Amino acid sequence: MKRARASQTLRPPGFSYVEAGSAPALQLHCEAVPLERLAARHGTPLYVYSAATIRSRLRAFAQAFRAVPHTLCYSVKANSALAILRMIAGAGAGFDVVSGGELQRVLRANRKAAGKVVFSGVGKTAEEMELALRSGILLFNIESESELNMLSAVAGRLKKRAAVAIRVNPDVSAKTHPYISTGLHQHKFGVPIPEAQTLYALAARQPYLDVAGVSVHIGSQITDVGTFQEALARVAEFIRRLRREGHDIRYIDAGGGLGISYEGAEQSFEKQIAAYAKAVTQPLRGLKLHLLLEPGRSIVGAAGVLLTRVIYRKTNYRKRFLIVDAAMNDLIRPSLYSAYHEIVPVRSGAAETEITDVVGPICETGDFFARERKLPVVREGDLLAILDAGAYGSVLGSNYNTRGRAAEVLVDGARAKVIRRRESFEDQTRMEG
Ligand code: PLP
């Protein structure tokens, strides 16, 4: 198998164009598997993930943070497929969960991972806390006084000590989309630092709470690493103050949020992660903390594509549309956040380009993947790959318009395994009367 020229590779090591025998076209592969073959076998729309990419991202994190004691707690919300969780647990990582359901997924994927689970989120219920306590998770990230009181009551009833961190809101602007920015005073997340101090004093008086750490998460898709540094400098100062007050702070949970490059090939993830590691660890120097990291998108985002087939070409008053068989129910990021996803033909070769919208069949104007995009000309029946769809893709899927969720395939070298079959009409209606 011959790889195409470097300029034509896309998202190595997962997705690259490969010369297709004697044909003039290049064919997009996931690792060693042609995407055309997967589409023919499993249909479209189809999520395809590269195991090699996920592994290389995990290795890059381990390498970048090797100088400090740390645990990577992959953020399950980014992609919660059991097969992916199994793989990540197998690599020795822990998990960040935000619901009892996510915790159950982790337990199903690998029961032994429970001791490396952090539980985040503003609205944990008593039932979810109970499940987490019985499972023996590592840390609860608490976001309000009411939640602290609830955890104290549940832990007391079960006679199980709960390790807690208060998630502080450092009032730092994450310079990202407003819907995924979380660290400003107007957001529902975290507790302002002065209030958090009171909560620590309150927690320390509860017999079944163990004050163990401080947590912070300022948002998602953050590419300016200076923002992390600013937030952690505020947190470091707060930790010093808490220790002076006698609290035994051992953990700093720095959250997730490292962004990826959706436009054009990523320059060098290794370089980016090195800058991120420096921004996170520098303010914590000398504090002798165990660092917890909750990356989601940066682990799985570039590891997935959404494969879709062009159903029709259409022109309205000279405006061109490619109507594809994937829709906003499969990948909602463009509709929800005006997110940009690069779209490429699976068989590359057309020299001619056109300006077109790429839209789905759902009856909403907001059902689009690209607007006024310059793309190589493709025909009805051709395949397109929507890149960087591994994070916040399938997990945000729905059945809107009674569309079954897409099937998902995990590729590892030359092997391709269906990790979620396509949802049928029967699957969708099973719970209805
Ligand atoms: N941790 C928490 C508490 C979050 O809310 C999120 C997502 O916003 C993450 C981690 C993962 O963020 P990302 O996927 O941007 O790394």
**pLDDT top residue among 341 and 179:** 341
Query: How does pLDDT run across 360-416, given as a tens digit for each residue?
Result: 999 999 999 999 999 999 999 999 999 999 999 999 999 999 999 999 999 999 999
Query: How does pLDDT run across 23-59, given as a tens digit for each residue?
Result: 667 999 999 999 999 999 999 999 999 999 999 999 9
pLDDT at 190: 86
Q: Which residues contact 316 (CB under 8 A, 6 or more apart)?
A: none
Question: Are the CB atoms for 420 and 396 separated by under 8 Å?
Answer: no
Question: Are the CB atoms for 386 and 305 separated by under 8 Å?
Answer: yes
- pTM beyond 0.75: the answer is yes
Query: How does pLDDT run across 81-99, given as a tens digit for each residue?
Result: 999 999 999 999 999 999 9
Question: Are the CB atoms for 26 and 19 separated by under 8 Å?
Answer: yes
Ligand 1 atom at minimum distance from 167 CA: 3
pLDDT at 185: 65
**pLDDT top residue among 422 and 8:** 422
Is 143's C-beta closer than 6 angstroms to any atom of ligand 1?
A: no
Average pLDDT, the chain: 94
* Dihedral angle, C-alpha 69, 74, 75, 81, nearest 10 °: -170
pLDDT surpassing 60 at residue 6: no
Active site residues: 363
* 95-126: b (≥16 Cβ within 10 Å) or e: bbbbbbebbebbbebbeebbebbbbbbbebee
Q: How confident is the model at residue 10 (pLDDT cuts 50, 70, 90)?
A: confident
* Å from CA of 130 to ligand 1 middle: 23
Ligand 1 atom at minimum distance from 222 CA: 15
Strand, coil or helix: what is 373? strand
Helix H or strand E segment including 196: helix 193-204
Ligand 1 atom at minimum distance from 294 CA: 10
Beta bridge partners of 210: 163
pLDDT at 173: 73
* Å from CA of 234 to ligand 1 middle: 19
Which residue, among 31, 28, 53, 50, has the nearest Cα to 39 in the 3D structure?
A: 28
Q: How confident is the model at residue 183 (pLDDT cuts 50, 70, 90)?
A: low
pLDDT at 349: 78
